[in-house]
Chains A and B, each alone.
Chain A
């Protein structure tokens, strides 16, 4: 069971309409052997947490370029934990200033992948940090 595929939810919280990065990442992760569920645009933290719960994913990747990350990401993490998903790896990507990176890590976002990160880096990080029972 140790080599069962890792399931990843890629979500776009808020009103941010830039989805190219998320789609490129989704395809890239598929090529790296992950099973990727992409929620599409305009998701609320509740919808993301509900989807993650049903799909029982190993990783939730939040893509956000609108600047609303401090309003949306901590809330999403909180909802995941409330649903008992304590071991889910939460990562974020998009446009997030360094000052906010620290704050986000404090509330449970494991890592933030800014512009220029390669798919390979992200894939390696997920493989190394996913918690498997």
Chain B
């Protein structure tokens, strides 16, 4: 399987990504091989509020990376409707100029019910792109809810894309979005207020606590539509790569990945448990609290 991926053929990779997205049990068996074959690609998260120009910026970055001889993989995640389970996957539309380029692979993914905005299978899809030889692998998500935190856990380098009209400082210091940034790109840099927005962010970040033992992230100006500032952004992403691969950082990512996988596995096993219904009814009747219910479900499954 990994050989097939490394061949650069698109169809096997595309078919595998579908099986990954659909939770095909066969994928579970491939996972050790897939994970072991990875670890090479620089996983770059791109997040930020809707309308900040993320997809256009990713498109410009693809162009720059291709000029540098890289093969680029992109997972563009958009939210699924919690009611209809449908989704508009609207990121690819900005990247169609690269559609025919055999060294660019763009895959749109719906979040499929994950509250964090990323699909539960995004990390496996990223591993598949990694195994197929794409480097960097970009994960693009909308920074709404806590999805920016999710993508930061997955990615080695997280770029937060802001807009000049981000408003006064109060907006910008909302917890989460700026704290997860390794690099901040103020996009639409040709708009009035762009320089000031960048200055405000720099000032705020130099005094903020955020993640411990970190130098504040660089704040860069970009204009994705003209590719202005994009080469410098690509340089900054590259420069961060080494800092992202220290043993401490790798350990942090591993902790988050294992925790996440644990929650997925435990959740699925509990829901499949014959005691599920009984526990749910007991909680609904307030005879049992949810934590005790959860512990009992795990105990009965024997972990």
Binding site for B on A (CB under 8 A): 1, 4-5, 26-27, 29-40, 43, 46-47, 50-51, 53-56, 83-84
Contacts and interface: CB of A to CB of B under 8 A. Distances in A.
B81 A56 contact: no
A34 to B, nearest CB: 5
20 contacts: A4-B22, A27-B88, A29-B86, A30-B81, A30-B86, A30-B88, A31-B86, A33-B85, A34-B86, A35-B80, A35-B110, A36-B86, A37-B108, A38-B88, A46-B99, A47-B96, A47-B99, A47-B100, A51-B99, A55-B14
B273 interface: no
A39 B85 contact: no
Interface residues of B, number: 30
Chain A at the B interface: SS class = mixed
B96 A54 contact: no
A30 B100 contact: no
Interface in B70-84: 80-81, 84
Contacts of A50: 99-100
B96 A1 contact: no
Given A51-B92, A51-B99, A36 B87 contact: yes
- Identify the interface centre among A33, A34, A37: most chain B CB within 10 Å of its CB: A37
A6 to B, nearest CB: 9
Nearest to B108: A37
A38 B96 CA distance: 10
Contacts, number: 84
A58 B42 CA distance: 31
A40 B93 contact: yes
B103 to A, nearest CB: 12
A5 B93 contact: no
Contact of A38 (B85, B90, B105): B90
A133 to B, nearest CB: 9
Contacts of B93: 38-40
B86 A56 contact: no
A84 B15 CA distance: 11
B87 A1 contact: no
B89 interface: yes
A54 B14 contact: yes
Given A32-B84, A35-B110, A37-B108, 20 more contacts: A1-B24, A5-B80, A30-B87, A30-B88, A31-B86, A33-B81, A35-B80, A35-B87, A36-B87, A38-B88, A38-B90, A50-B100, A51-B92, A51-B96, A53-B14, A54-B99, A54-B107, A55-B14, A55-B108, A56-B17
Contact of B14 (A30, A43, A56): A56
Contacts of B17: 56
Contacts of A51: 92, 96, 99, 106
